[in-house]
Structure 1
């Protein structure tokens, strides 16, 4: 295993060859370069850990090499050496970002010491970046509340594809948190230092859509008093998040498709083509394939934006996350409203878990904000919940047809038992009364309550 890769640059062949011989002997992979004008091509081909370069050379000198290396990669490790050693050069080298400075002639030991020090610095920096990335990933993941199998699968997939540059299509009902997932992907991507520009396609008027997305030049239309960048151009280098992309007008879809294909845009009223480098994350709550059949969505655009598809489950399919979400929102709104609300009563939590949440997480959040505002005790009670939620009896549960029959039947039976017994207990004053209504003995009812973990 190599100790590291070193690009050695000097127009003196003997100097390059001697450094290469010494460093190769000690396990380093060396790339000799005698013409500094070829530096950039060599840098791309070799991706060295360290650049070791003379200062005085024909063609590019060492300071030009240092400057360009830092422009290409701000973390580049460059070590300068020269036979014309002076304090001014040394100070300038360090000020401009050189790792170290070697005056000629230098001994083998001196060379090895500086190289080892540079490699250790790189190792520590890489480890620091790796740990920082891990911590960032954990922090971003913590922002999305939930521990159900379904939401973990979504986060695992989002984390995996974040490191790629593929376009992503998020499917999910309104209120499921599509923008949160989009931000999660952006934050974990290499584009995270550049902006994420969110665009709600449903709110852009047809007559302004082209100007909003592509920008316009001064005088392009009445009222265009100055040149304006569009949202696509603003996202350059980063991520463009198109929410409700199904609402994008057909002529704009065609122009956007061309922009994605050519990686260039032209502002409204402009002639110049502008290069854009963006990743597109789109979101929709509609079936785009059906819209394609109806002729209101371009098939080519669909395949361009749907390289990776992520389906975000509705809250009713991950009800085990409701207690976590409830406590999360209580903490947020208690602090915001300077309240001392600590949680919800058990019967209240049962009602929240029973409700199907057609508005998903957004509806739950609004419900908890309302409850915290109305609550004057430590625990939220049913009195603080909207009447339609309290009176909700539930709907028929149908397991996914993708499951084997026996497994689907088992899940459906469990759901039936839970809903039936909860309803039975809610309409009875005692277990004895409930067992008589159900036509089963009291012990059997008690065993069912324990088996399905139903709060009495």
Structure 2
């Protein structure tokens, strides 16, 4: 159960005697209690610092209880609101339940019933949070299994992960696309003291500047054209947990300034808002770019780089750890054979040799895609050479080794684009990169979709 001292309650009633009697009773129970004499005061207080439970009187001047309920729900759809009503106002209380109120209490109050209601709400909040965190931890451990390696460089990386996880230091993970940077970030979180709080990832390259600002900081209703309701940002939701900033090198210079300020103070405001919000979180960032080169080109701030680069972890590309290819291939085979309920338990020697000789410009993610496809199309107990994607020919592997990484990536993207008839969305999904990243690569390599 959430400790009482952390449960914040707001009592909204125009009658001073009711506000004061309820506040006195609840404070003796160990709760943090504030009061409001009407709707405007309640909205202002809740906007400044959200309450866990809000008690609202149905009949009030200026803004009645039902209208206040609607406004509170517009601000925070998850707000827990209990209506307070006299016997003659039961219909209004029932209407409030339809509008999203959790419960209602009849005046004069039965204090034992009030206590039971609050205890029930506190348990519900605690169980909801535990359920969210449990789901996140299950997902984390499932995905952590994909960090399979016997290469010395990766074994050393695993040891560093264990050491870094016990601290709260900011971590910068670098490596090519598909090497598993997010898996490393999740592994750090899963083994850290913050593992029971949320791990929230945001792909900085997947949003425009305005949308990224809204995703990170949240926004108030009416802050911009599409802001129909108030929305919490990732910074608010990640409190006590870990924030993973993927593709951090794609952030605009303006957003870099805003992000730097948050990292220094852990304080921020929603877009269109004035209230200062605070959040306690650890930061892990990742990029496939050379940020020092970006600093030289004046596209990335040096002060932000040094703020992020407290601990630097480099994830090596798959071509530099060829001993992991059979290990990973067998691992993905077991995963996808189980998932598809197919009796495929091994890889034909010729097919394994093709996998070994291919340089994997898309790294582990590309290998996983290749094995998934082979399992889906496979008709035998073994993965055959012709089950592999056509971009992994046995005879062509030696020739591909002579190509630069950029050229291999260009050819790979061009082939998938051709198969998908130039459809960027399906191509991005197959390559497991976001659409904006694919668009940037298409532009870089001069590939007209």
Q: TM-score normalised by the shorter chain: which range applies?
A: 0.5 to 0.7
Distance in 1 of aligned mates of 2:376 and 2:146: 23
Secondary structure at 1:174 match in 2: coil
What is the distance in 2 between the residues matched to 1:278 and 1:182? 14
Residue aligning to 2:175? 172
CA drift at 1:219: 2.2
Q: Secondary structure at the match of 2:273?
A: coil
Aligned: 1:360 with 2:366: no
Matching residue of 2:8:
none
2:198 equivalent among 192, 195, 215: 195
Q: Confirm or deny: 8 A CA contact 1:141 1:155 kept in the other structure.
A: no
Q: Does residue 161 of structure 2 align to residue 161 of structure 1? A: no
Q: How does 1:52-451 map to 2 (within 5 A)?
A: 142-390=145-393, 391-393=396-398, 394-395=400-401
Once the 2 structures are TM-superposed, how far is the Cα of residue 228 of structure 1 from its aligned partner? 1.1
CA positional deviation for 1:322: 0.9
Residues 144 and 186 in structure 2, CA contact (< 8 A), matched pair in contact too: no
1:412 matched residue in structure 2: none
Deviation at 1:396, TM superposition (A): 5.6
Q: What is the DSSP-based 3-state SS (H/G/I as helix, E as strand, rest coil) of the residue aligned with 1:241?
A: strand
Contact 2:143–2:183, Cα closer than 8 Å, also in 1:
no
TM-score, scaled relative to structure 1: 0.56
Task: Answer whether contact 2:144 2:183 (CA < 8 A) is retained.
Answer: no
Judged with a 3 Å threshold, the aligned counterparts in structure 2 of structure 1 residues 244 and 138 are, in CA distance, closer, same or farther, namely closer
| Structure 1 portions without partners, runs of 5+ | 1-63, 69-95, 97-136, 399-456
- SS of the residue corresponding to residue 310 of structure 1 reads strand
| DSSP-derived class of the 1:319 partner | coil
CA contact (8 A) 1:183 1:196 kept: yes
TM-score relative to the length of structure 2: 0.57
Question: Separation in 2 of the partners of 1:174 and 1:357?
Answer: 11
Q: Give distance in 2, aligned partners of 1:396 and 1:223.
A: 50
Separation in 1, partners of 2:31, 2:210: 47
* 1:152 shift after superposition: 0.6
Indicate conservation of the 8 Å contact 1:140/1:187, yes or no.
no
Q: Deviations over 1:117-140 (max 9, x none)?
A: xxxxxxxxxxxxxxxxxxxx9998
Determine if contact 1:371/1:384 at 8 Å carries over to the other structure.
yes
Shift of residue 345, structure 1, vs aligned partner: 1.1
**Contact 1:343/1:380 (CA < 8 Å) preserved in 2?**
yes
Q: Distance in 2 between matches of 1:386 and 1:141?
A: 26
CA distance in 1, matches of 2:292, 2:165: 25
Deviation at 1:308, TM superposition (A): 0.2
Equivalent residue pairs, number: 271
Q: Which aligned segments of 4 or more residues in structure 1 are displaced greater than 3 angstroms?
A: 137-143
Q: CA deviation at 1:276?
A: 1.2
Local SS of the residue matching 1:389: coil
1:389/1:283 CA distance change after superposition, 3 Å = same
Higher RCO, 1 vs 2 (CA within 8 Å, ≥6 residues apart): 2
Change (3 A) 1:239 1:378: same
Measure the CA separation in 2 of the matches of 1:188 and 1:397.
Answer: 39
